Amino acid sequence: MQTTNPATNEPLATYEPHSPETVEKILSRADETFRDWRERPIEERESLAASLGEVLRSNAGEYAATMTREMGKPIDQAVAEVEKCADLCNYYAERSAEHLQDERIGAEPGTKTYVSYEPLGPVLSVMPWNYPFWQVFRFAVPALTAGNVGLLKHAPNVLGCANAIEACFEEAGYPAGVFASMQIEADRVADVIADDRIRAVTLTGSTRAGRAVAAASGENLKKTVLELGGSDPFIVLDDAPLDEVVDAAVTARNQNSGQTCIAAKRFLVHESVHEEFVERFGRAAEQLTVGDPTDETTDVGPQARADLLEELDSQVRRSVEAGATVETGGEPLDRGGNFYPPTVLSDVPEDCPAATEELFGPVAAVFPVRSDDEAVEAANDTQFGLGGCVWTADADRGEALAKRITAGNVFVNQVVKSDPRLPFGGVKESGYGSELAGHGIREFTNAKTIWVER
């Protein structure tokens, strides 16, 4: 299992997959640790979450550099990712007991009836490379604070991040076995899911990977939470303030070098401002700096792997062959590493890849729409349902449209983002279940009804 620097395509490190014997030891220790961990007072688990946040902040530069080396994230965005993880820790250090407190429910006179939220046990997390710290902490902090133990199967190109995360939990004072990383290949995941000691599974990744994990989990009756792909609509109404909207559009499409499930991918622009938006959007995208991700002035780094660059390039070429117009960008940069420039496509045919597939890179497809109704229809014309946003000078008008968009997260006059205080998840082929907030911490608990007769 090899990690490679995507900015240079030079090898970084080689990792040996864990043997079946090592995996058995990890599973056994997780099962044993859970019996004690679940009994720890919630205040103690909250205190450890706070300590975890302190460790993250004190080592932010080191963790960010590891991310940048392994998957090419621009260094300032990598630092921001670590800081966001620390904020998540603070949130659950403050709010977990509140979210998990017993819920009293009236039933009959003379009875005590309530719901108790109790941990499930060892939870397997299958995590992606694009946010190699945030995706893991978004699962692990609420799950562990609820009393579960966590096992991580990370993407093979960010195993240095996986090891750093495991060490982070150790440094924060978590008991051995509460959180562990398993270095295994994808074809071994189903066997781990089938193990009786695994009680639940969560995955962030592609719809294809989600189907495989859901099938294996369903066969073994394991609870799952899936956060999958997206093709988020970015709706620009006729009254939207274009100065603000264009800036937001550039960020929404090119953040993390465009490698984001909740990135805006389909820009649905009212025909009265479509031409101006396309021209300004393309010009602004051209101003982004593409280059060395370790340079703080870089806006867009490399694509994380060579095969991902090739797939993105193929999708763009097939879209252009079908009739799409390249306003800017449109082909890989002629330099070492996996660099693809910010790209804007217009005149996009309905059945080409830019319209029907998820483009996981800095490529925006712009479509004209004639009305609010047409914008909603186009927004919902996808197999995905992760996020979306609406831009307008009339917030009430935007909210009315937001309610009609089939997605797990819709923002008005703001780019789509995840926030520890709010639940996050998708519908349709973007997955199911919630992460974050009180909804997320209760996903991996047993909502147990208790009835006490007096």
142 CB-near residues (< 8 Å, 6+ apart): 92, 96, 435, 436, 440, 441, 444
Q: What percent of the chain has pLDDT over 70?
A: 100
Q: Which two tokens stand for residue 381?
A: 């014309």
As a whole number, mean pLDDT of residues 203-232 equals: 97
Report the distance separating Cα 173 and Cα 12, nearest Å. 29
pLDDT in tens, 136-189: 999 999 999 999 999 999 999 999 999 999 999 999 999 999 999 999 999 999
As a whole number, mean pLDDT of residues 339-348 equals: 98
As a whole number, mean pLDDT of residues 422-450 equals: 98
Residue 419, φ and ψ in degrees, nearest 5? -135, 130
Q: What is the DSSP letter of 174?
A: P
**Nearest-CA neighbor of 156 among 135, 184, 177?**
184
As a whole number, mean pLDDT of residues 417-428 equals: 98
Residue 401 is predicted with a pLDDT of: 98
pLDDT in tens, 227-245: 999 999 999 999 999 999 9
Report the distance separating Cα 416 and Cα 386, nearest Å. 10
Q: Enumerate helices (H) and strands (E) in the chain, giving the number of each.
A: 15, 18
As a whole number, mean pLDDT of residues 305-319 equals: 98
Residue with tokens 């495991």: 166
- Tell me: pLDDT of 102 over 90: yes
- Tell me: pLDDT of 100 over 90: yes
Residue with tokens 């101006």: 276
Domain ranges of the chain: 2-228+428-453, 232-412
Characterize the bridge pairing of strands 10-14 and 387-391: unpaired
Residue 395 is predicted with a pLDDT of: 98
Query: For residue 346, how far is the Cα from the chain centroid?
Result: 27
Which residues are identified as catalytic?
Answer: 227, 261
CATH class of 2-228+428-453: alpha beta
The full DSSP string for 207-265 is HHHHHHHHHHHHHTT-EEEEE----EEEEE-TT--HHHHHHHHHHHHHGGGG--TTSEE
Residue 18 is predicted with a pLDDT of: 98
Any idea which architecture 232-412 has in CATH? 3-Layer(aba) Sandwich (3.40)
**Which is it for the CA torsion 115, 120, 126, 131, positive or negative?**
positive
As a whole number, mean pLDDT of residues 217-226 equals: 98
Provide the Cα torsion 124, 126, 129, 131; round to 10°: -60
Let me know the angle formed at the C-alpha of 379 by 378 and 380, rounded to the nearest 5 degrees: 90
Residue 12 is predicted with a pLDDT of: 98
- Tell me: pLDDT of 214 over 90: yes
Give pTM, 2 decimals: 0.97
- Tell me: pLDDT of 454 over 90: no
Residue 200 is predicted with a pLDDT of: 98
Give the count of beta carbons closer than 10 Å to the beta carbon of residue 83.
15
Give the residues across from 450 on adjacent strands.
114
Q: Is 197 helix (H, G, I), strand (E, B) or coil?
A: coil
- Tell me: pLDDT of 330 over 90: yes
